Structure 1
Amino acid sequence: MRNLIAIVAVMASISAPVFAQDTPLAEVSVTDWKAVYGRVEARSRIPARARLGGTVVSLAVVEGDVVTAGQVLAQVVDAKIDFQLAAIDAQQQALAAQLDNAKVELTRGEDLLARGVTTAQRLDALRTQVDVLNGQIAAVVADRRVVEQQQLEGAVLAPIAGRVLSVPVAAGAVILPGEAVATIGGGGIFLRIAVPERHAAFLKQGAAIEIETATGPSQGTLARIYPLIENGRVVADVEVQDLPESFIDARVLVRLPVDTRMALMVPTSAVITQTGLDFVRVAGADGPVLRNVVVGQPQTIDGAPMIEILSGLAVGDRVVSANE
């Protein structure tokens, strides 16, 4: 009988929890978070426009390609430019022939003037004719350079380095000057959010933001709050490190701090769930007792997982944790 009593005493000492009494409960300041969806956007979204109207003879990029600034995205050809160059060349040849004839006439006039056969006025007219033809040839050469530059502008260049977001044209399409051939997103990416205006007063620039990405939770910073309210919403930008940029305009869940309040918080480990009900062990007059509670949202305070107690506990109650 003595051995049996000793065995029972040892087993009771092993299985019985050792209670440690914590400090009295006090209200702490907690942050209320508002869940909204942010949109991944490129800092710069610039269309690559055609500088020349004509036919798209080649298209070198598709959606999703990464390009560098100045890279040729497409080639536009205007068949009329070749005819313009041919007309300019013919005009230049005609003026060159007239200039040669005018120079011969000038040389002959100078010989005649030396022999006293012609007048100085006639010689001045011949010199003027040569100067006029030289000026006309120079103007034709400048016109040719303008047309040649137009021909070179058939190459559609990427305005910035980045990713091709859209290509609204196809090879063989006829486009006008200034029409967009592709849209490039570059300069990095950020999150843009739209928050209901009732929360505008609680938004603070530089506040920490919780973000749920495809790769897991992340942290961001509220970088800019725009003063213009559109459709009852405040627009703000969030800076996020290592934000996935595979998809522009992708929606990401964002949690914003919109208010602070006082609440009763206990460690998550102090909550005991039995038969679908939540209990917390508190110190009583005759020892620890289980008290039924209603819990709220869990939060992390100073790195420790905590959970809010909505009802069942009061300020001053002493929560008792069991150390097995």
Structure 2
Amino acid sequence: MATIVSLLSSGASAGAETLTVKQLSIADEKAVFATVESISVVPARSRIGGTVAQLHVREGDAATRGQAIAVVVDEKLVLQVKSLDAQIEALQAQAGQAQTDFDRIEGLVDRGTLPRTRLEEARTALNVAQNNLRSKTAERGVIRQQQMEGQVLAPQDGRVLKRVVAVGSVVLPGDPVATVAQQDFKLRLRIPEEHARFLKAGDRIRLDGSEFDEHTARWGVIDLVYPQIEEGRVIADAKVEGIGEYFVGDRRRIWIASGERAAFVIPSSYVTTRFGIDYVQLHQAAGTISVPVQRGRDHPTPSFSDGVEILSGIRSGDVLVKR
């Protein structure tokens, strides 16, 4: 978009700030509503089946990637570990006895009391006992890993939107326990399809400062336009800095460009209001005079954050004086 007005250093009086009015093409803005949404909402799922024993978060809590937000307990895994512990103790005793027998037979074979075939039999028995012990130890490691997977971890940094279960709930592998919204918010626009031909990635959007309890407008950029039209509306996503840090689904009014038109836009500081009538100071050869104007809606631009549209009372080439 081209610059709407140009500032001049020369004016009607020394030190007075002036500008020359130019009628240029500006964006014809339309007001639409958008909702604050997370870039992604991911469920935190249980990796094992069991009973929810602990919940460490509630709605609205911040979560970091890998943080344990719940604990699922399967009592059968505890019993399996106890059973394997007992079996491992028995196998340890067998392996110890096999090692003792091997050492004793090895000494007797070295002295020639027993044949070497007895030593090979003892070595085989020792290897079998040790392998059985390693097998049961690995099996116990698998069960303990399943117990560790009872911790439900946050899949990403963000904020907990909803807890799906309560303490004591029974869950199966893959069941969601909570939903986590990535804390990188965007604005999701739903625009009537007749404006679709004017919409493209990279377009600027404007949010009124009143939406943020501020006096100046905020600007954002459309980064994605979805190709599918839903219920007569085009869906698009826009990035705006500081649109929210807590609420998801918050509705905001924004302004988008839906074509172009000719207009006069000047900073509001050049307009004065007396008795309900708006005036601008017009520079002429004979001096400066007050001219009544019809003021339109505020139209902030990248050049003038306090821009206001003037519907009548000025024309191209007029030199305005700031009072």
TM tier relative to shorter chain: 0.7 to 0.9
Matched, 1:307 2:306: no
CA 1:267–1:168 in structure 2 vs 1: closer, same or farther (change >3 Å)? closer
The alpha-carbon deviation at position 124 of structure 1 amounts to 1.2
Q: Percent identity?
A: 36
Matched, 1:156 2:159: no
| From 119, 122, 125, the counterpart of 1:123 | 119
Letter in 2 for 1:157: L
- Distance of 1:198 and 1:168 partners within structure 2: 40
CA 1:209–1:109 in structure 2 vs 1: closer, same or farther (change >3 Å)? same
Matched, 1:52 2:48: yes
The residue that corresponds to 2:61 in the other structure is 65
Contact between 1:57 and 1:77, CA under 8 Å: does it hold in 2? yes
Letter in 2 for 1:226: V
Matched, 1:205 2:208: no
The residue that corresponds to 1:224 in the other structure is 223
- Distance of 1:182 and 1:227 partners within structure 2: 28
- Distance of 2:70 and 2:298 partners within structure 1: 55
Matched, 1:235 2:231: no
- Distance of 2:108 and 2:221 partners within structure 1: 89
- Distance of 2:190 and 2:159 partners within structure 1: 25
- Partner deviation per Cα, 1:91-119 (whole Å, 9 max, x = no partner): 11222232233234334433553465543
- Distance of 2:121 and 2:20 partners within structure 1: 114
Q: After the TM superposition, which residues 11-26 of structure 1 pair with which residues of structure 2 at under 5 Å, given as runs?
A: none
**TM, length-normalised to structure 1:** 0.73
Contact between 1:224 and 1:238, CA under 8 Å: does it hold in 2? yes
Contact between 1:208 and 1:219, CA under 8 Å: does it hold in 2? no
The residue that corresponds to 1:183 in the other structure is 179
Which structure features the higher share of strand residues?
Answer: 1
Matched, 1:252 2:252: yes
Contact between 2:50 and 2:171, CA under 8 Å: does it hold in 1? yes
- Partner deviation per Cα, 1:187-246 (whole Å, 9 max, x = no partner): 421212122333233224333311142524632222412352232433322221221223
SS at match of 1:30: strand
- Partner deviation per Cα, 1:6-61 (whole Å, 9 max, x = no partner): xxxxxxxxxxxxxxxxx999853232112221111123322222222211112121
Alpha-carbon RMSD across the aligned residues, in angstroms, is 4.0
The alpha-carbon deviation at position 247 of structure 1 amounts to 0.9
Letter in 2 for 1:249: G
- Partner deviation per Cα, 1:137-172 (whole Å, 9 max, x = no partner): 111111112211221222222233322111111111
SS at match of 2:217: strand
**TM, length-normalised to structure 2:** 0.73
**Which segments of 5 or more consecutive residues in structure 1 lack a partner in the other structure?**
1-22, 279-289
Contact between 2:201 and 2:225, CA under 8 Å: does it hold in 1? no
CA 1:24–1:43 in structure 2 vs 1: closer, same or farther (change >3 Å)? closer
Structure with larger Rg: 1
SS at match of 1:88: helix
